[in-house]
Amino acid sequence: MVVSRGAFPGATSLALALLSGPCAGGSWCAVVGAAGLGLVAAAQHGLDLERVALVPSPGAKWPVVTAALLEGFDVVLVCPPARVDRSIARQLEARARERGSVLAVMGEAWPGSADMRLAIVSGCWRGLEGGHGYLWGREVEVEAAGKGAASRARRARSWLGGPFQVAVDGPAVLGAAGPGAGGPSFRSIAGDEATGRSRPQVGAAGLAG
């Protein structure tokens, strides 16, 4: 699964939100190569930092490190360097499939077509005015596209970030996701079920295992 930089910034928060669901459910998560990751934000997203391992600067050994972590962790989030070799990407994907883990990649560098690509297409900040207030949240629209069942791009609107989970005003789901798309899912994008439903289930089978 790839979390790419969309038209609107927020890929890091989206990745953290992605991790928070499995992490809160008792899974172990690892983050490779994100040296400047804001861990206070991670805790605010609901990650249990006791079950999050970080390898902030693996350097050129990131493929070995990622492969080792896929052996033992349910979700591994990787921030690879600018250029990723196609064969390394294949091998890592194969290992994740074999181990039943989820490999989440942040950034554009991943070659090939991932099972799922997430991007924020639009959004707006809340809390900041001309000279007063403070940032307390952001409303974003997330687009998910991928292979197989997820080949039809879907969009969902959600709250991202902030220590509070605020219900979205108005219709939560703007995209085409119907109620039939239920099942185990990442429930982290927002606190509300409707938005969670619209999340596709890539990796959910791996998380359950």
Candidates 33, 107, 123, 196: give the one binding other proteins (CB under 8 A).
123
Binding flag, residue 177, other proteins (CB under 8 A): no
Note whether 112 binds other proteins by CB under 8 A.
Answer: no
Select the residue interacting with other proteins from 4, 23, 33, 40 (CB under 8 A). 40
Q: Which residues contact 189 (CB under 8 A, 6 or more apart)?
A: 14, 17, 142, 156, 158, 159, 160, 195, 196, 199
DSSP 111: -
| Core vs surface per residue 108-129: b (16+ CB within 10 A) or e | ebbeeebbbbbbbeebeeeeee
**From the CB of 54, what's the least distance to other proteins, in Å?**
5
Nearer Cβ to other proteins (88/153): 88
CB of 67 to other proteins, least distance (A): 5
What single-letter amino acid sits at 11?
A
Is residue 58 within 8 Å of residue 67, measured between CB atoms?
A: no
CA–CA separation, 87 and 4 (whole Å)? 20
Provide, rounded to whole angstroms, the least separation between the CB of residue 58 and other proteins: 6
Does residue 36 bind other proteins (CB under 8 A)?
A: yes
Residue nearer to other proteins on the CB measure, 41 or 109? 41
Asked whether position 92 contacts other proteins by CB under 8 A, the answer is yes
What is the distance between the alpha carbons of residues 190 and 126, in angstroms, rounded to a whole number?
15
Instruction: Say which residue the tokens 């890592």 belong to.
Output: 92
> Taking CB under 8 A as the rule, does residue 134 contact other proteins?
yes
Residues 54-83, mask of contacts with other proteins (x by CB under 8 A):
xxxxxxxx-xxx-xxxxxxxx---------
Are 145 and 2 contacting, i.e. CB atoms less than 8 angstroms apart? no
C-alpha atoms less than 13 angstroms from C-alpha of 91 in its C-beta half-sphere: 12
Question: 């080792």: which residue's tokens?
Answer: 68
The smaller minimum CB distance to other proteins, of residues 110 and 177, is found at 110
Rounded to the nearest whole angstrom, what is the least distance from the CB of residue 88 to other proteins in the complex?
7
Handedness of CA 177, 156, 38, 64 (dihedral sign): positive
Taking CB under 8 A as the criterion, the residue among 81, 86, 128, 182 binding other proteins is 128
Binding site for other proteins (CB under 8 A): 7-13, 16, 26-28, 30, 35-44, 49-61, 63-65, 67-74, 88, 91-92, 95, 123-125, 127-138, 161-163
